[in-house]
Amino acid sequence: MKIFIRLLIILVFVACEKKQAPKVVVVPKPIITKEGRIIPIDSSKIASFKDSSMIAFYQAIKNKTFWLANTDRKKLISLLKNADDEGLFLKDFDIKHIQSSEENIQQLADSLLINYDILLTENLNRYIKRASKGYLNPDSLYTNWDLNPNNINFKKLLLNFQKKDSFNYAVKAVLPNHIVYKKLKEALQIINKLPKYDLNKIEIEQKLVLNDTNEVLIDIKKHLIFWKDLHSLDTITPIYNEETELAVKKFQMRHGLATDGVIGIGTVQALNFTKEERKKEIIINMERWRWFPRNFEAEYLIINIPDYTLHVVKNADTIKTNKVITGKAARKTPVLSSKLSYLVFNPTWTIPPTILKNDVIPAARRDISYFKNKNITVYNASNQIVNANNWSAEKAKSYRYVQSPGKSNALGLVKFMFPNRFSVYLHDTNSRGYFDKDIRALSSGCIRVQYPFELAEYLLDDAEKWNLDAINKVVDNYKTVNVSFKKDIYIHVLYWTAWSENGVLQFRDDLYNYDLELYKNLY
């Protein structure tokens, strides 16, 4: 009986149990975000663009939005937000408007999405123009300037961004690619990492040397510590000790000054530049490098006027570095690019009008034997020699003055010729002691080079015919010999006053106030 009752209870329990409903898997509908869409743009809107690059950009994609469905949009926004890394001004870009549109992209109506896409392209187009060609036209600033404007295809640079997986390449194509520009960018990064500048201006009444005691040394040490030339924590001792002297020498070397450890006017002037002033100097030089040639040749000479140096570059490697003497502020060495055509051993020198007016004629008026002493022959308009006794100061400008070859010749024993409208050239000198000076803005515009025979041997590239022994034999004859170059060698005479070298900031004096002129027009 008990067994029966138990079975009955089990049957009732089973019968009363509800059947469980089968599980239903709900598949969410795909959400198509607004930013992932491609929206047609009215062709009349595109035709209304004033910039042909903008028109070409949208016509190339059949009048549709580009950035909304492009994963590079975030990269573009980042590029614009960090445009100051390239020395550009953030105020030139609609950063706030772009950020606001990006944050609210899901709520924007189609018409606003179209406007946002166009806004991004407009800002990119602006970035391309500023980063590739710069803000200003050098021809309107400088007279001693002979560089052909870079032929930059803005339309092509903009269209590069439409190529698949090419964003980084497209950005790279916009920027100057020379190593000096990259070093300037590095310099900007270095100076941006420096702490807030809060230093007193330094004033001295007399030069300071090792073991001097002077209260101004406290401020000098603070400046040296700020610029990372001095690694001491001592900013209360007014004594010029050896540690501080080493820091001063390092600072002087970074600024192209005499590294003698003597704190004089030049060193103090350099110390008194503020962080913001140096930052602007770097940015000014980045602007100038956008005007310099975009593509340098496989082999070339490059001269930095304020640094008084010539570098021989081959396949992007510096092969040789020579000291040079450049033009004084009153007789500036021009900025130019050209191609070496030939060199002259034992050159004659036809004296140019400026030197004739300012130097030769006044000297001859004081002492007519000047011509004989300087080995100068005077010719009249008929190419006849004018005897010194018959030389007339009133007719002086109508004569032609030629200095004969030799060690007394102002051009030295070799000159390197290249076409330019300023009639300047690269040459030897009869005053080689000037290369021992740190400040070498001493010429009348031409460029004097140290070790010219070694340079000639390298450029002629003929070990059998034009080695140093052969060159010396030709020079010793004092006969003028012209030699053409077998290979194409270009020369770039440029001007930059800031850069980074092995992670260390370098600055040079603005000899010709080119930075100052640029500063006035850029800021």
Annotated catalytic, 16? no
Closest CA to 441 of 495, 490, 403: 495
For the chain, what is the radius of gyration of the CA atoms?
35
* Pairing outcome for strands 498-501 and 349-350: unpaired
Q: Please report, for residues 171, 303, 427, 458, the alpha-carbon distance to residue 454 in angstroms, rounded to integers and kept in the order given.
A: 41, 17, 12, 6
What ranges make up the beta strands (E) of 249-370? 299-304, 309-314, 317-327, 335-339, 342-345, 349-350
Decide: 346 and 475 in contact? Cβ < 8 Å. yes
CA neighbours closer than 13 Å in the CB half-sphere of residue 194 = 21
Q: Which long-range contacts (CB under 8 A, 24 or more apart) does 44-50 make?
A: 45/114
Determine which helix (DSSP H) or strand (DSSP E) holds 507, and give its type and residue range.
Answer: strand 504-507
Annotated catalytic, 178? no
Distance between first and last Cα of the chain: 109
d(CA 161, CA 166): 6
d(CA 330, CA 76): 46
CB count, 10 Å around CB of 393? 11
Write out the two tokens for 104.
Answer: 């609210």
Q: In what order do the strands lie in the sheet with 376-379?
A: 349-350, 400-403, 376-379
CA angle 369, 374, 377 (to 5 degrees): 80
* Residue of 178, 223, 255, 427 with catalytic role: 427
Strand pairing partners for 441?
326
d(CA 78, CA 90): 12
* Residue of 178, 223, 255, 446 with catalytic role: 446
Length of the chain: 523
Q: Which letter does DSSP use for residue 139 in this model?
A: G
Residues tagged active-site: 427, 446
